[in-house]
Amino acid sequence: MSILINKDTRLIVQGITGRDGSFHTRQMKEYGTHIVAGVTPGKKGQFLDGIPVFNTVSDAKKETGGNTSVIYVPAPFAADAILEAVDAELDLVVCISEGVPANDMVRVAHHMRGRNTRLIGPNCPGLISPGQSKVGILPSQITKPGPVGVVSRSGTLTYEIVYQLTQANIGQSTCIGIGGDPIIGTNFIDTLSLFEKDPDTKCVVMIGEIGGTDEQEAAAFAQAEMKTPVIGFIAGKTAPPGKRMGHAGAIISGSSGTAAEKTRILNEKGIPVASIPSDIVPLVKKRLS
């Protein structure tokens, strides 16, 4: 099985006629994702590789039964694209766009309160359930179906660790990049909860980084609420205090956001933390044995 996406996912691509949207639409379609529609305002009636284009998400959903959207639009328009998908009452919205202003995401977060739509991102690579569906930009060739869930704040580290697992013949149930911005739609605890409910996910790899307290809070949740074992990795061990490392959310404040502090808390909560990405493989093998 998997979480959030599978063979029944019916995908709408917002920004399908743009450079990134068209390229990744073809990549997702080639992988086998069921793409039912695209959305670009003013381009209703056009087609991309046989996929119909609509002016609005609401029209696309009504005509095709789409239940998920992925957003490839410039940052200034990303928040409105998310809100449009939420108002269309889609089950899942995945925003790939980076550089979305934090103030825009405050508006999005407020608008989504009480709604049933789940948001992944922004500034994320999306997710893939190997052998079933891909929504976003994760490279499918490095994945394989299996029992390990992967959740990460970092896109490129997701790729590295998934590759390490696949090279060791350890497959994945779902790999998901939640994004590293200060305000995101789905956090570690949300994702761990979903993996815990998936009977075919036997182990979870959680890839964190410096800044904030999300990893520490997730560790407490895992200890209290999960039977599925969790393996950790924290990026940014050599980052100097006060420096932002890659993501807007990766800023150390005092000692709480350092890699050393996060590693200590995870270990205290029973989560082993790999020193380097390649160390994750033996830790996973031990939990699966």
Task: Give the pLDDT score at 210.
Answer: 87
110, 202 in Cβ contact below 8 A? no
Q: Which CATH class, in words, describes the domain spanning 139-288?
A: alpha beta
- Domain pair 11-120 / 139-288, same fold: yes
Kindly list the domain boundaries of the chain, sorted by start residue. 11-120, 139-288
| pLDDT reading at 14 higher than 90 | yes
Q: Which two tokens stand for residue 86?
A: 């939420």
68-71, strands of its sheet edge to edge: 47-48, 51-54, 35-39, 11-14, 68-71, 92-95, 118-120
| pLDDT reading at 238 higher than 80 | no
Task: Give the pLDDT score at 252.
Answer: 47
Single out the residue of 68, 105, 78 nearest to residue 18, CA to CA. 78
| pLDDT reading at 230 higher than 60 | yes
Average pLDDT for residues 255-259, to the nearest whole number?
73
110 assigned to active site: no
Average pLDDT for residues 194-222, to the nearest whole number?
96
15, 21 in Cβ contact below 8 A? yes
Average pLDDT for residues 221-227, to the nearest whole number?
98
CATH superfamily, domain 11-120, is NAD(P)-binding Rossmann-like Domain (3.40.50.720)
**What does pLDDT average to over the chain?**
94
Average pLDDT for residues 234-262, to the nearest whole number?
66
- pTM for the structure as a whole: 0.94
| pLDDT reading at 185 higher than 60 | yes
Q: What percent of the chain has pLDDT over 90?
A: 88
Our measurement of the distance from residue 239's CA atom to the centroid of its chain's CA atoms, rounded to an integer in Å, reads: 24
| pLDDT reading at 254 higher than 80 | no
Query: Which of 24, 110, 111, 247 is an active site residue?
Result: 247
Q: How far apart are CA 4 and CA 149, in angstroms?
A: 12
Average pLDDT for residues 257-282, to the nearest whole number?
94
Task: Give the pLDDT score at 258.
Answer: 87
